[in-house]
Structure 1
Amino acid sequence: MSMNRYLLLENIKENEKVDVFVLRNFISDKFSTPKPPKKEYLRCKIIRGHKRAMRQIIKGKTPKATLHKFSTDDFRSLDVWRCLKVVINQNPNLFMDCSNTVSGPKTDGQAKRKNSEGIEKSFNIAFCSNYFSHEEVRESYYYYIQLLFTNFDLKVLCEKFNFKCCNGDPHKINCVEKWVMLKEYLEYHMIKELDLEPFVLDLSVSGLPSYEVVNEFLNQKV
């Protein structure tokens, strides 16, 4: 997969970490003073949401109050959800095991875990490498990220992730760029930094900002 697909992140300096470069553009709601969100927080939130989506699909449920919730009238999100369902339903045993809360690090599912020996303490590199080791899991994760960004509503994204792209109102055009970079990091670089190959498809299925969204920013009075 060529990095040319990821135009906003391809020119980062060699000595600069992609995650640091991306996350410093955001302001966490978790701290009393302005700070960027932590990488561990992002991994935890995304993987927990991914696992929850697996469990919902296995149980035949549609998300109504989660990170990835969407309206049943939202046909774009429904299409991505169906793609995610196809991957999971083709490998039910793998995803049942992967989505189990006791399959997480020690910070997850402690009450149900009888033995925590050999379990990773957090959502660290070792845990994430094991979690994403199966190609099918990486494929389902790709669709999960598309689902989160399908409609690219900046206000909704801030609420989903519990961090902000700016302190101003309304948002500016560079806010769109920040969220595009975060999406690129999550779907590609977060997997690549584990020495694994990300699953990728044509951009036509990706949740990128529509012309209407970008045009709205360009026509705002500053």
Structure 2
Amino acid sequence: MDQETKCLLDESEPGQCFSVYPSQEFDKNLFSKIDYFKTIKEKLAPFFYRSKKPLKKEYVRANIIRLHKKNIRMIMSNKKSLRRMKREMALFTDKQAKAFERFKDFTKNNWEIMSAICPTESGPMTDGKARRKGSKNKAAKSFNDTYVRDYFADYRMRESFSYFIDYIFAEENSSLLVSSLNYFCCLNENHSEKCISHWLGLKEFYQVLMIDELNIIYDINSSDIICENEWIENIDTSQPQDNKDIVDVSVIEKYMENGYYYNS
């Protein structure tokens, strides 16, 4: 099986993941890759698809990005979609309504970047085939690491996605989450506290692990970069510190000059 076919299967079918396994070639990031692999596997292991096969990272990632883009399009869509959205909003709890309003307001306030990324034809070749015009050579062939990294390269897309996940998980209700995401946490008629714990683990995958694993190069306007720069300026290097808190400021500054987010 060639690599392209393998990637497409990962995104469309549940089952064992192909590309999540760390490379056998040694490099300085090998141990962090193994840590990510183990942690992500633990977060996804409790869930399964209708076929009762375990979820793959690629499938979960492609599914949530499609859902994110779909909701962005609905917010700025035609009257028919807005009417359907209002009917759904009428059933929201207070937590859901508050989370959705934040996601909606942020989307409208940043529509320039959203409108460039959210159309189906702006996605990989697997999406928006009927609407795609012109050359297809520049389009990604699947929801691979490169596409996902580009999708979240702008800090506004990362923030929008975080608000969207907050909205999806606004209520810690397993039945509601099964309906929203089409994943199953168990086969029991009544869910347990263990189910909720598993769902919160999935939320952590979406908001933290899925992004951090890709070593995204943060754009220069990112609020993350600004926050880290302010933190560096406030470090008092003249005072002794505990070993675990010692920070080499020059290393961090050089690291951030290259566009990377420093995580102590």
TM interval, shorter chain, is 0.7 to 0.9
How far the C-alpha of 1:17 sits from its partner, in A, is 2.9
Question: 1:17-56 counterparts in 2 under 5 A?
Answer: 17-29=38-50, 31=51, 34-56=52-74
How far the C-alpha of 1:189 sits from its partner, in A, is 0.8
Q: Does 1:187 align with 2:207?
A: yes
Q: Does 1:173 align with 2:173?
A: no
Contact 1:53–1:63 at 8 Å: present in 2 too? no
The one-letter amino acid paired with 1:56 is M
Aligned in 2, Cα 1:73/1:172: closer, same or farther, shift over 3 Å? closer
Of residues 118, 133, 156, the one that matches 1:136 is 156
* Alpha-carbon distance between aligned partners in 2 of 1:83 and 1:75, rounded to the nearest angstrom: 12
Of residues 104, 116, 120, the one that matches 1:85 is 104
* Alpha-carbon distance between aligned partners in 2 of 1:59 and 1:15, rounded to the nearest angstrom: 37
* Alpha-carbon distance between aligned partners in 2 of 1:199 and 1:35, rounded to the nearest angstrom: 39
Question: 1:1-222 counterparts in 2 under 5 A?
Answer: 14=35, 16-29=37-50, 31=51, 34-59=52-77, 62=82, 64=84, 70-114=89-133, 115-196=135-216
How far the C-alpha of 1:53 sits from its partner, in A, is 1.4
Aligned in 2, Cα 1:103/1:182: closer, same or farther, shift over 3 Å? same
Aligned in 2, Cα 1:72/1:169: closer, same or farther, shift over 3 Å? closer
Moved more, 56-65 or 35-44: 56-65
Contact 2:120–2:128 at 8 Å: present in 1 too? yes
Aligned in 2, Cα 1:192/1:186: closer, same or farther, shift over 3 Å? same
* Number of aligned residue pairs: 182
Instruction: Name stretches of at least 5 consecutive residues in structure 2 with no aligned partner.
Output: 1-33, 225-264
Contact 2:173–2:196 at 8 Å: present in 1 too? no
Greater RCO, 1 or 2 (C-alpha within 8 Å, sep 6+): 1
Contact 2:36–2:209 at 8 Å: present in 1 too? no
Which one has the bigger helix percentage? 2
How far the C-alpha of 1:63 sits from its partner, in A, is 8.0
> Could you list the per-position Cα deviations for residues 46-85 of structure 1 after superposition, in whole angstroms to 9, with x for gaps in the alignment?
11111111112223755847xxx54355222221122112
* Alpha-carbon distance between aligned partners in 2 of 1:143 and 1:151, rounded to the nearest angstrom: 14
How big is the alpha-carbon RMSD for the aligned residues of Structure 1 and Structure 2?
2.5
> Could you list the per-position Cα deviations for residues 122-155 of structure 1 after superposition, in whole angstroms to 9, with x for gaps in the alignment?
1111110000100001000000001111112111
* Alpha-carbon distance between aligned partners in 2 of 1:113 and 1:55, rounded to the nearest angstrom: 16
> Could you list the per-position Cα deviations for residues 167-220 of structure 1 after superposition, in whole angstroms to 9, with x for gaps in the alignment?
2232222111111100111111111112137989xxxxxxxxxxxxxxxxxxxx
Aligned in 2, Cα 1:123/1:94: closer, same or farther, shift over 3 Å? same
* Alpha-carbon distance between aligned partners in 2 of 1:124 and 1:111, rounded to the nearest angstrom: 21
SS at 2:130 equivalent: helix
Which runs of at least 4 in structure 1 moved beyond 6 Å after TM superposition?
197-200
* Alpha-carbon distance between aligned partners in 1 of 2:84 and 2:121, rounded to the nearest angstrom: 24
Instruction: Name stretches of at least 5 consecutive residues in structure 1 with no aligned partner.
Output: 1-12, 201-222
Match of 2:256 in 1: none
